[in-house]
């Protein structure tokens, strides 16, 4: 197995500061959180930005400030979100790319998202993939449901996505694929052969699916975007606390952690 790449999704767009008082909101808080997560074992950060009042934002200045600060203080791989928040325009969702990240998320399909709809029709996905390619930003393909995998494979066949792409299985969103081992295994088996993948899962399923990822040779995404609890009834004190737990479990299971430099090599970003 490759060394384990831990990605931390620091803040997302849905969790509110009222739900998780330690949610990083400002660029300074995102940068501090990223530094702590790097020290705890993360190799990559998945980034959304928030307005000062905590509401989801697509302000390119916030993205640029956060990315520049993370780059100044860490060697983390920086991945911006192009999913943004439900209801953001296409232009808003592409704002993070102005911060010149290493990677950006790309969701190849529309999915019910709780009571809302995360809108990703085929023409939008193609435009996002083309924009990333033109900027030299490597996509992380976010799979919320089974059909998205088939679409991604189609885009690989068309040459719009690399045949050795990195995927993230995001399991347990209400409306998407469930967060269970059977689904994770099924999706992993259907990934194109040259792929790498991480596994993220929502809420209380984050930890078991992260451990499944460690054991099965996949990589891990943890963080407040997907889960705000350390244990039932006990909110995590920080994103770094969630990262540190994964690092400890990986150590106990004999799977070394990837440094950001090793993760760049594993993901084919070396030299970027």
Shortest Å distance, C-beta 200 to ligand KMH: 10
Q: Token match 């994770």: residue?
A: 184
With respect to ligand KMH, which residue has the nearer C-beta, 200 or 240? 200
Q: Decide if residue 81 touches Zn ion (CB under 5 A).
A: yes
Binding mask 130-159 for ligand KMH (x = CB under 6 A): ------------x-----------------
* DSSP 3-state of 150: helix
Q: Decide if residue 86 touches ligand KMH (CB under 6 A).
A: yes
Q: Which one of Zn ion, ligand KMH, none is in contact with 57 (Cβ closer than 5 to 8 A by kind)?
A: none
Q: Decide if residue 63 touches ligand KMH (CB under 6 A).
A: no
Q: What pairs with residue 174 in β-bridges? A: none
**Number of residues written out for the chain:** 272
Q: How far apart are CA 111 and CA 143, in angstroms?
A: 10
CB atoms within 10 A of CB 162: 18
| Binding-site size, ligand KMH (CB under 6 A) | 13
Q: How far apart are CA 125 and CA 190, in angstroms?
A: 20
Shortest Å distance, C-beta 106 to Zn ion: 11
Q: Which stretch in 9-17, 20-28, 234-242, 263-271 sits in contact with ligand KMH by CB under 6 A?
A: 9-17
Where are the alpha helices (H) located in the chain, listed in sequence order?
A: 27-40, 60-73, 90-93, 122-135, 146-157, 181-190, 206-216, 239-252, 260-266
Q: Which one of Zn ion, ligand KMH, none is in contact with 65 (Cβ closer than 5 to 8 A by kind)?
A: none
Q: Among 59, 71, 80, which residue's Cα sits nearest to residue 34?
A: 71
Shortest Å distance, C-beta 81 to ligand KMH: 3
Q: Decide if residue 105 touches ligand KMH (CB under 6 A).
A: yes
Q: Which two tokens stand for residue 22?
A: 């330690």
Q: Which residue is nearest to Zn ion (CB)?
A: 81
Q: Decide if residue 107 touches ligand KMH (CB under 6 A).
A: yes
């Amino acid at each position: 197995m490759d060394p384990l790449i831990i990605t931390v999704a620091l803040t997302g767009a849905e969790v509110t500061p009222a739900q998780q008082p330690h949610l990083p909101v400002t660029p300074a808080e995102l940068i501090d959180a990223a530094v702590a997560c790097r020290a705890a074992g993360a190799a990559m950060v998945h980034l959304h930005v928030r307005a000062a009042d905590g509401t989801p934002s697509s302000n390119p200045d916030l993205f640029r400030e956060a990315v520049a600060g993370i780059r100044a203080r860490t060697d983390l791989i920086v991945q911006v979100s192009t999913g943004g928040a439900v209801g953001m325009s296409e232009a808003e969702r592409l704002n993070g790319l102005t911060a010149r990240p290493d990677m950006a998320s790309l969701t190849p399909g529309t999915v019910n998202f709780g009571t809302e709809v995360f809108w990703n029709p085929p023409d939008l996905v193609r435009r996002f993939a083309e924009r990333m390619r033109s900027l030299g930003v490597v996509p992380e393909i976010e799979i919320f449901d089974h059909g998205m995998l088939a679409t991604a494979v189609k885009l690989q066949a068309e040459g719009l996505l690399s045949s050795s792409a990195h995927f993230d299985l995001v399991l347990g969103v209400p409306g998407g694929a469930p967060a269970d081992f059977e689904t994770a295994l099924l999706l992993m088996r259907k990934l194109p052969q040259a792929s790498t993948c991480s596994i993220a899962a929502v809420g209380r399923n984050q930890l078991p699916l992260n451990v499944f990822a460690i054991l099965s040779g996949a990589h891990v995404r943890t963080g407040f975007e997907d889960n705000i609890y350390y244990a039932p009834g006990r909110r995590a004190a920080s994103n770094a606390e969630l990262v540190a737990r994964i690092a400890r479990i990986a150590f106990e299971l004999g799977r070394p952690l990837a440094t950001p430099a090793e993760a760049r090599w594993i993901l084919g970003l070396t030299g970027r």
